[in-house]
């Protein structure tokens, strides 16, 4: 390659300014914009305004290049060809991808754009040019960078700005992964370290190095003098020269020895020369010279290297190569990432401290670090402080081709009022799988309700050395999902009563004028009102064309007060709100009616949150909620009330699962919290789906179903699995010696009172009785769904080895694939290693999952099937009210919905005091409700209440706050 002098802008070190923009930040817009718009977006390959492609003539001194520059330079052709091959490979795998280079510059000089545009046109890239005022501020540059950083369409940003504009703040703002000119500190550091797998090298520096390496006289081990120039570009260039085997020396323009230094050099690169003159006589014959800024007339002693435009084109080629690399890395980053989980070490103490002391003693990893370790992208995370974050549902689209992991359900035998530790077993299991067996695993748990947290049972973060941390954040408020549900639920209730009041006190005309107001003389229906018109069979969208009858039909929901099924909710156990009277103030004009409150987690909106598979599905389900019936017997929905869109707005953040961690640093999704006795009792479908993608094909997702297997597990299979399409690989059935003794004939267990001696002393007879009754029945229930069972015996300190061995023996005799003792409460994940091995082995065996009933069976038959096959009842007894509701639901087309039984969790039957495995009873169905939005029929068994009450001594007696340290005490 022949050498020549050249004049260059040195990439980002030069300012092009042709015209000033008076103090206004300009941003380029698409070429499709109006002709009078000053902003231009020029995409690669676009024609000029005259409709023809611009011609390029390169001038350097007296020499003129009329040929295509791509045909003149071998280096340029090589870089272009290499990048073109990378681009073809990229688009073969991702046909819709179109890499974009964004150029930020001051002024409106298009010379740089034309060169990059021509280069991009060769490769199929797009270019966006952002022209700022020549006197723009640092804030304006930063603002543009922030936009480009977050724009997924932009894969490279070139800051074509004066050096004084490249401040530390500007460079720190630019994302290193989009810094295709390699000027950020991180990319400079990567260059020095030799790690360019994520970084970029300056295109101008690469172009200069290319010219130096292809000098007629080899420059290896020769001296290359850099004159002038500061900042990241000059630093990168010096480093690259030295790395290539040349000897780089640097001087400045004010050096007294400049002439001697130039005369001793084998090649000279003049940076930031300005108007300074370097006489040709300073250069030795054959010296290669690259000069920036001023034009140097060729002399007898210096050899030409290249024209200015040739270097610019070569730099542009390297720049587009970096853009393609950036795009490839971006796409690679969107693929499934292997986990790099750093576990937190546990140092269990004996005796085991309180739950809150254990939680507080362990410092959790920052949630952003945990997210990175499990392959989440920064843009998929919405942090709520240091320890928890919402996860974007876009993850499902990104990993849609990723195979799911193994799916494990933790259920339990019929519990005592104290609970048997399903959450603790769940957490201990994932700690064992991830921290000790090094198998990716995720726990998916329900968000705890404030009702039990301040009532009897306490929180739901686990216990001992198997907890979600920080347990205070887990148990209190979390990310506000239950509050969002409460707000949405009560907005519906307010809308119901307000609508009934207005319909009772206004004429059709007055209602219509207020529901469809005239704005600037024009009356329009809102989209939600148009939906109602269509459901009513009114096909016009012009308010003026409705007949009086159509207006009356449209404005009057005519709700029957006695048939309103929607209750207000509060997340507190408040028995005195079970039945209330509303509308007693004189301002409500006699619109008095009886209603009531449910606990917030019993709201249908909670069930919708748990069963929805995306934002659109949730919005549609919210619109289908039936709040009551009209006097003519027609169902009235939230969409009829006009409130369903507002509900979706209130719930838009709640639909995202919350990421937290266990004591050993393994990931947990906390999402949704329906009770199992008065709702379907499972965490969300979305949390499970996200986790199954994240753990990978060989990983495990462990989710928990509320209360006993007869309640939570049955609903998990018949309701949740129908909604999600997911199929579990194994059921972990949690049992305790305490509960087994109760089912074997032991005395009653009551919260807040000491355990009878039968539960403290060894009693093999009671244990065997519980195993042969309740444990056997719960294993049989799981087998009816075709899923293998591993029994996890949650060991307490009062349990004897003989009792433990007996349970494991009988469980296997009753059909369990395995039965193992678990000591996670005292030892963390290490205490559940035996369970982890059993689950891993069982989950890899084939299963034959099947539903308990055909969804098309009549409603009464589905209820009867559950009663007989799951609970052990002889038959069911429908009250007249329940029978009437079933007939009504059949008429409305709701008969093909699954069943969600509301039943006591303290017995397989409807009688809480009947332990073991009762038989020979008839199950009374007092009432049947329909949760149409959630998608199930909701029979109430016996005297089941949807609002719990507080005991004589609730948990809140022990909960307190230190006002100095802000530490919470008494939570468990």
**pLDDT surpasses 70 at 301:** no
Query: CA 234: distance to chain centroid?
Result: 42
Q: Do 223 and 253 contact (CB within 8 A), yes or no?
A: no
Ramachandran bin of 750, using left for φ above 0, alpha for ψ from -120 to 50, beta for the remaining angles: beta
- Which residues make beta-bridge pairs with 821? 793
According to the model, what pLDDT value does residue 69 have? 52
Q: Do 886 and 938 contact (CB within 8 A), yes or no?
A: no
**pLDDT surpasses 50 at 14:** no
Least confident piece of the model among 135-149, 423-437, 449-463: 449-463
**pLDDT surpasses 60 at 52:** no
According to the model, what pLDDT value does residue 10 have? 32
Task: Round the average pLDDT of the chain to a whole number and report it.
Answer: 88
Q: Is 422 one of the annotated active-site residues of the chain?
A: yes
Q: How far is CA 620 from CA 149, 458, 495, 609, in A?
A: 34, 35, 19, 12
Least confident piece of the model among 94-108, 336-350, 804-818: 94-108
Q: Quick one: which of 361, 407, 357, 936 has its CA closest to 699? A: 407
Q: Quick one: which of 810, 812, 831, 813 has its CA closest to 821? A: 831
Query: CA 466: distance to chain centroid?
Result: 25
Averaged pLDDT for residues 950-970? 89
pLDDT in tens, 194-214: 888 889 999 989 988 888 887
**pLDDT surpasses 70 at 22:** no
Confidence of residue 276 (pLDDT cuts 50, 70, 90): low
Q: Is 398 one of the annotated active-site residues of the chain?
A: no
> What ranges in 299-393 are assigned the alpha helix state H?
308-334, 355-361, 367-373
Confidence of residue 62 (pLDDT cuts 50, 70, 90): very low
Confidence of residue 292 (pLDDT cuts 50, 70, 90): low
According to the model, what pLDDT value does residue 285 have? 87
**pLDDT surpasses 70 at 530:** yes
Confidence of residue 117 (pLDDT cuts 50, 70, 90): confident
Confidence of residue 54 (pLDDT cuts 50, 70, 90): very low
Averaged pLDDT for residues 672-700? 93
**pLDDT surpasses 50 at 4:** no
Domains and CATH numbers, the chain: 11-196+314-319 (3.40.50.10860), 216-304 (3.40.50.720), 355-479+653-843 (3.40.50.300), 482-651 (3.30.1510.10), 859-941 (3.10.410.10)
According to the model, what pLDDT value does residue 304 have? 39
Per the residue annotation, which of 796, 851, 926, 972 is the catalytic one? 796
Q: Is 676 one of the annotated active-site residues of the chain?
A: yes
Q: What's the DSSP call for residue 899?
A: B
- Listed in sequence order, the residues at least 6 apart from 281 whose beta carbon sits closer than 8 Å to its beta carbon are 299, 301
Tokens representing residue 387 in the block: 């320890």
**pLDDT surpasses 80 at 954:** yes
Per the residue annotation, which of 190, 319, 422, 693 is the catalytic one? 422
**How far is 941 from 138, CA to CA, in rounded Å?**
68
Averaged pLDDT for residues 695-701? 97
**pLDDT surpasses 90 at 818:** yes
Q: Do 450 and 619 contact (CB within 8 A), yes or no?
A: no
Q: How many CB atoms lie within 10 A of CB 920?
A: 8
pLDDT in tens, 761-798: 999 999 999 999 999 999 999 999 999 999 999 999 99
Per the residue annotation, which of 233, 235, 675, 825 is the catalytic one? 825
**pLDDT surpasses 70 at 19:** no
Per the residue annotation, which of 416, 424, 426, 572 is the catalytic one? 424
Q: Is 2 one of the annotated active-site residues of the chain?
A: no
According to the model, what pLDDT value does residue 120 have? 84
According to the model, what pLDDT value does residue 863 have? 98
**pLDDT surpasses 80 at 29:** no
Averaged pLDDT for residues 98-106? 93
- Which residues make beta-bridge pairs with 912? none
Q: Quick one: which of 333, 323, 327 has its CA closest to 398? A: 333
Q: Is 796 one of the annotated active-site residues of the chain?
A: yes
Ramachandran bin of 141, using left for φ above 0, alpha for ψ from -120 to 50, beta for the remaining angles: alpha
Cα 190–Cα 196–Cα 198 angle in degrees, nearest 5: 90
Confidence of residue 65 (pLDDT cuts 50, 70, 90): very low
Question: What percent of the chain has a predicted confidence (pLDDT) above 70?
Answer: 90
According to the model, what pLDDT value does residue 211 have? 83
Confidence of residue 895 (pLDDT cuts 50, 70, 90): very high
**pLDDT surpasses 80 at 72:** no
pLDDT in tens, 353-387: 999 899 999 999 999 999 999 999 999 999 999 99
Least confident piece of the model among 198-202, 269-273, 285-289, 542-546: 269-273
Q: Quick one: which of 579, 280, 844 has its CA closest to 291? A: 280
Q: Is 424 one of the annotated active-site residues of the chain?
A: yes
Averaged pLDDT for residues 668-685? 91
Question: What percent of the chain has a predicted confidence (pLDDT) above 90?
Answer: 71
Per the residue annotation, which of 707, 716, 921, 938 is the catalytic one? 707
> If you search the block for the tokens 């499972």, which residue do you land on?
682
**pLDDT surpasses 80 at 50:** no
Confidence of residue 124 (pLDDT cuts 50, 70, 90): confident
Averaged pLDDT for residues 725-738? 97
- Of residues 952 and 66, more confidence is placed in 952
Predicted TM-score (pTM) of this structure: 0.86
pLDDT in tens, 218-261: 778 889 999 988 778 888 899 999 998 999 999 988 888 999 99
Ramachandran bin of 494, using left for φ above 0, alpha for ψ from -120 to 50, beta for the remaining angles: alpha
**pLDDT surpasses 80 at 38:** no
Averaged pLDDT for residues 83-91? 91
Averaged pLDDT for residues 76-104? 91
Averaged pLDDT for residues 868-894? 96
Per the residue annotation, which of 493, 676, 768, 902 is the catalytic one? 676
pLDDT in tens, 401-417: 999 999 999 999 999 98
**pLDDT surpasses 70 at 938:** yes
Least confident piece of the model among 12-21, 425-434, 449-458, 937-946: 12-21
Q: How far is CA 59 from CA 272, 416, 659, in A?
A: 21, 90, 61
Confidence of residue 542 (pLDDT cuts 50, 70, 90): very high
**pLDDT surpasses 50 at 442:** yes
Query: What secondary structure does DSSP assign to 15-67, as a single string?
Result: ---SS---S-------TTS-TT-S-----TT---TTSSPPP--EEETTEEE-S
Per the residue annotation, which of 42, 291, 446, 738 is the catalytic one? 446
Q: How far is CA 103 from CA 31, 109, 114, 182, 464, in A?
A: 16, 12, 12, 14, 56
Q: Quick one: which of 755, 831, 941, 908 has its CA closest to 413? A: 908
- Of residues 271 and 467, more confidence is placed in 467
- Of residues 471 and 28, more confidence is placed in 471
Least confident piece of the model among 22-26, 54-58, 464-468, 681-685: 54-58
């Amino acid at each position: 390659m022949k050498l020549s002098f050249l004049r260059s802008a040195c990439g980002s070190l030069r300012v092009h300014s042709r015209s000033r923009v008076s103090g206004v930040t300009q941003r380029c817009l698409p070429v499709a914009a109006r002709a009078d718009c000053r902003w231009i977006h020029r995409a690669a390959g676009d024609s000029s305004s005259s409709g023809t492609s611009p011609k390029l003539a390169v001038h350097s001194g007296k020499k003129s290049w009329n040929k295509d520059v791509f045909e003149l330079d071998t280096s340029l052709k090589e870089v272009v060809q290499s990048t073109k091959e990378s681009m073809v490979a990229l688009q073969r795998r991702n046909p819709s991808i179109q890499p974009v280079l964004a150029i930020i510059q001051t002024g409106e000089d298009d010379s740089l754009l034309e060169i990059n545009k021509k280069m991009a046109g060769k490769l199929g890239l797009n270019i966006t040019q952002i022209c700022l005022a020549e006197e723009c501020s640092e804030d304006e540059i930063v603002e543009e960078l922030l936009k480009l950083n977050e724009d997924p369409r932009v894969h490279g940003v070139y800051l074509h700005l004066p050096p004084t504009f490249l401040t530390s703040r500007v460079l720190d703002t630019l994302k290193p992964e989009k810094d295709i000119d390699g000027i950020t500190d991180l990319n400079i550091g990567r260059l020095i370290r030799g790690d360019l797998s994520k970084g970029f090298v300056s295109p101008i520096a690469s172009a200069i190095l290319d010219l130096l390496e292809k000098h007629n006289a080899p420059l290896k081990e020769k001296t290359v003098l850099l004159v002038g120039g500061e900042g990241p570009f000059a630093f990168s260039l010096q480093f690259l020269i030295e790395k290539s085997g040349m000897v780089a020396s640097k001087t400045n323009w004010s050096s007294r020895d400049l002439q001697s230094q130039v005369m001793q050099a084998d090649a000279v690169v003049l940076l930031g020369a300005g108007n300074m003159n370097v006489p040709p006589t300073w250069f030795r014959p054959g010296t290669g010279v690259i000069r920036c800024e001023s034009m140097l007339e060729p002399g007898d002693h210096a050899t030409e290297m290249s024209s200015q435009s040739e270097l610019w084109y070569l730099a542009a080629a390297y720049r587009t190569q970096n853009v393609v690399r950036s795009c490839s890395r971006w796409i690679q980053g969107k693929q499934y990432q292997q986990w790099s989980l750093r576990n937190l070490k546990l140092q269990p103490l004996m005796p085991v401290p309180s739950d809150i002391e254990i939680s507080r003693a362990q410092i959790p990893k920052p949630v952003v670090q945990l997210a990175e370790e499990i392959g989440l992208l920064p843009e998929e995370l919405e942090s709520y402080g240091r320890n928890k974050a919402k996860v974007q549902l876009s993850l499902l689209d990104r990993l849609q081709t990723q195979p799911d992991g193994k799916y494990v359900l933790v259920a339990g035998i019929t519990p005592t009022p104290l609970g048997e530790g399903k959450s603790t077993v769940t957490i201990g299991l994932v700690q064992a799988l991830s921290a000790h067996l090094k198998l990716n695993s995720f726990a998916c748990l329900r968000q705890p309700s404030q009702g039990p947290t301040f009532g009897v049972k306490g929180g739901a973060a686990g216990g001992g050395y198997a907890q979600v941390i920080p347990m205070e954040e887990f148990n209190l408020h979390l990310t506000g999902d239950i509050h969002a549900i409460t707000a949405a639920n009560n907005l519906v209730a307010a809308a119901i009563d307000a609508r009934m009041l207005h319909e009772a006190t206004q004429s059709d005309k007055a209602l219509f004028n207020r529901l469809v107001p005239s704005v600037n003389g024009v009356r329009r229906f809102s989209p939600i009102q148009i939906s109602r018109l269509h459901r009513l069979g009114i096909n016009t969208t012009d308010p003026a064309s409705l007949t009086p009858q159509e207006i009356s039909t449209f404005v009057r929901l005519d709700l029957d007060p006695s048939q309103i099924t929607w209750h207000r909710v509060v997340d507190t156990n408040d028995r005195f709100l079970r039945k209330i009277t509303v509308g007693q103030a004189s301002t409500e004009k006699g619109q008095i009616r009886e209603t009531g409150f449910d606990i917030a987690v019993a709201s249908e909106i909670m069930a919708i949150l748990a069963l929805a598979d995306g934002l659109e599905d949730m919005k549609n389900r919210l619109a289908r909620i039936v709040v009551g019936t009209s006097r003519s017997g027609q169902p009235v929905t939230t969409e009829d009330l006009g409130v369903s869109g507002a509900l979706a707005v209130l719930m838009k953040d709640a639909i995202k699962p919350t990421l937290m961690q266990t004591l050993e640093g393994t990931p947990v999704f906390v999402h949704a919290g329906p009770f199992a006795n008065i709702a379907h009792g499972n965490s969300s479908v979305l949390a499970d789906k996200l986790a199954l993608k994240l753990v990978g094909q060989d990983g495990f997702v462990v989710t928990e179903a509320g209360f006993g297997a007869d309640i939570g597990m049955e609903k998990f299979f018949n309701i949740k699995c129908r909604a999600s399409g997911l199929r579990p690989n194994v059921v972990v059935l949690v049992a305790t010696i305490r509960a087994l003794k109760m089912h074997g004939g032991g005395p009653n267990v009551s919260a807040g009172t000491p355990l009878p001696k039968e539960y403290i002393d060894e009693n093999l007879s009671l244990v065997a009785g519980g195993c042969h009754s309740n444990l056997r029945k719960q294993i049989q229930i799981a087998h009816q769904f075709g899923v293998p069972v591993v029994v996890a015996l949650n060991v307490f300190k009062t349990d004897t080895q003989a009792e433990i061995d007996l349970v494991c023996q009988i469980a296997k005799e009753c059909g369990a694939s395995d039965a193992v003792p678990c000591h996670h409460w005292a030892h963390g994940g290490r205490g559940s290693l035996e369970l982890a091995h059993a689950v891993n082995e069982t989950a890899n065996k084939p299963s034959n999952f099947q539903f308990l009933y055909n969804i098309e069976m009549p409603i009464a038959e589905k209820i009867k099937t559950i009663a007989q096959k799951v609970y052990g009842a002889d038959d069911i007894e429908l009250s007249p009210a329940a029978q009437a509701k079933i007939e009504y639901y059949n008429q409305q087309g709701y008969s093909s919905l699954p069943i969600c039984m509301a039943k006591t969790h303290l017995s397989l039957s409807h009688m809480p005091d009947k332990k073991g495995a009762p038989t020979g009873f008839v199950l009374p169905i007092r009432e049947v409700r329909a949760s149409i939005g959630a998608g199930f029929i909701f029979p109430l068994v016996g005297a089941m209440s949807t609002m719990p009450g507080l005991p004589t001594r609730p948990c809140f007696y022990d909960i307190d706050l230190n006002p100095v340290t802000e530490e919470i005490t008494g939570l468990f």
